[in-house]
Amino acid sequence: MSFLSRIVRFLFWLLVVSWSVALLRRMVGWMLRDAVGNPSQEGSRDSLRAEGAARRLVRDPVCGMHVAEEVSLPLEYGGELVHFCSPACRDTYAGQARKLAANG
């Protein structure tokens, strides 16, 4: 067997083993999530809805960062509520809005 064919064979088996390990990890993750995540079926949908409502994310229009709505800094501009991640982004947005209004 030539040296090149040995390298190709080694790379092939390395690929097969890595895919097998990834598939095994995914299957174990699914099993653990099902075993730990669902202690009781009744009432789990309501708790998931409550968590989903509490964790709504909004996007900062300046930097593009996603922030939880509860901790974001809201600003009402032109009848629209806009959320920001920091006071610096909010001030930048307000400055840009003033420039656009002045230009016309």
Cα separation, 29 vs 47, in Å, equals 22
Please report the sign of the dihedral spanned by the C-alpha atoms of residue 83, residue 86, residue 91, residue 96.
negative
Where are the chain's structural domains? 1-39, 55-104
Cα separation, 85 vs 93, in Å, equals 12
Residue 40: DSSP 8-state: -
Residue 80: C-alpha distances to residues 6, 75, 103 (Å): 64, 8, 21
Which pLDDT score is estimated for 78? 81
pTM of the entire structure?
A: 0.44
Q: What does the pLDDT look like over 8-57, one tens digit per residue?
A: 999 999 999 999 999 999 999 988 887 776 555 545 555 555 555 557 89
